[in-house]
Copies of this chain bind each other. A is one copy, B any other.
Amino acid sequence: MSILVVGSVAYDTVETPLGRAERVLGGSASYFAVAASFFGPVSLVGVVGRDFGEAQLAAFRGRPIDLEGLERMDGKTFHWQGRYSLDLNSRETICTDLNVFEFFQPKIPASYRGSEVVFLGNIDPVLQRRVLEQVERPRVVACDTMNFWIHGKAAELRETLRKVQILLVNDQEARELSGEWNLVKAARAIRALGPRTLVVKKGEHGVLMFGEEGSFAAPALPLDVVVDPTGAGDTFAGGFLGYLASAGQEGDAALRRAVVMGSTMASFSVEAFSLDRLLTLTRPEIDARYREFESLTRFESV
């Protein structure tokens, strides 16, 4: 079952304690699409400028990623530059050049309109809704957002959330969206807005999922080297929805496996800059790491 993803395709310039990467491939749709493509076909919707060439597209080639919806516009590609703190838990944005992304109006190719799983990456909630208006009858709509929209387009975001089954945000975003510090209360408030499943990403502290059949907690894999956390959340979303689409189920058990698969993919993503580690990844490596999560979390009854 094909997944439609709409989001950013970008150049990133990133500094972390372990190094620097200059104008490398980034963007939510890029991380998502490559991660999800390990599980099945992905249809990408985004925009790039004239400076985005075949070398960058190479990351998507040879994978089941349809690029018909990747628009090429006059101008430059979105560029984000940031620097991480020593402990990698916070980052400072040095510059955000939206470039062609500022004028992005998602156009869904006819061949994408039957997509049954849709991931609305972190873009203006008005655009997220326009995407939904162009798809026929998606079975699962998942969505990301950020503080900028939570505060700047609160009413529009709420309207979008009414059409969303799964919301994926980080803990701070969950708190700001709900106005509740406590995550259990935040989840209750957010689920009342529409999404029947809330996935809260806590970075190195793992993931909490709040759903119709209770809560699920998965740790992040303890890693001794983290090179670059950029894109970990979008990679998580790609593994999560990619697995879910391939499983063809949306029950509690499938959602739990999807969380662990998302965590598995994210654990690879942070091992290198940009999509570098994802691009060398193999399915046996993915399966072996999923099993590491099993041994990391297993315990017996008393």
Chain A, range 278-302, C-beta contacts under 8 Å to B = 287, 290-291, 294-302
Whether the Cβ atoms of B222 and A298 lie closer than 8 Å is no
Docked pose: A87 CA to B297 CA in angstroms: 27
User: Most B CB atoms within 10 A — which of A86, A202, A216, A243?
Assistant: A216
CB neighbours (8 Å) of A298 from chain B are: 256
CB neighbours (8 Å) of A300 from chain B are: 253, 256-257
Q: A295 contacts which of B182, B214, B223 (Cβ < 8 Å)?
A: B214
Docked pose: A296 CA to B206 CA in angstroms: 13
Whether the Cβ atoms of B299 and A259 lie closer than 8 Å is yes
Shortest C-beta distance, A251 to chain B (Å), equals 11
Whether the Cβ atoms of B206 and A217 lie closer than 8 Å is yes
CB neighbours (8 Å) of A256 from chain B are: 298-300
Shortest C-beta distance, A253 to chain B (Å), equals 6
CB neighbours (8 Å) of A261 from chain B are: 302
CB neighbours (8 Å) of A216 from chain B are: 296-297, 299
Whether, in the assembled complex, A143 has its beta carbon less than 8 Å from a beta carbon of chain B, the answer is: no
Docked pose: A251 CA to B301 CA in angstroms: 15
Whether, in the assembled complex, A260 has its beta carbon less than 8 Å from a beta carbon of chain B, the answer is: yes
* Contact indicator per residue, chain A 257-288, by CB within 8 Å of chain B (1) or not (0): 10111000000000000000000000000010
Whether the Cβ atoms of B222 and A219 lie closer than 8 Å is no
Docked pose: A169 CA to B218 CA in angstroms: 22
Whether the Cβ atoms of B223 and A184 lie closer than 8 Å is yes
Docked pose: A259 CA to B298 CA in angstroms: 12
CB neighbours (8 Å) of A181 from chain B are: 86-87
CB neighbours (8 Å) of A260 from chain B are: 299
Enumerate the 8 nearest inter-chain pairs by beta-carbon distance, A residue then B residue, closest first: A217-B219, A184-B224, A205-B205, A256-B299, A184-B222, A217-B296, A87-B181, A260-B299
A residues sitting closer than 8 Å to B (CB atoms) are 86-87, 181-185, 188, 202, 205-206, 208, 210, 214-219, 222-226, 243, 253, 256-257, 259-261, 287, 290-291, 294-302
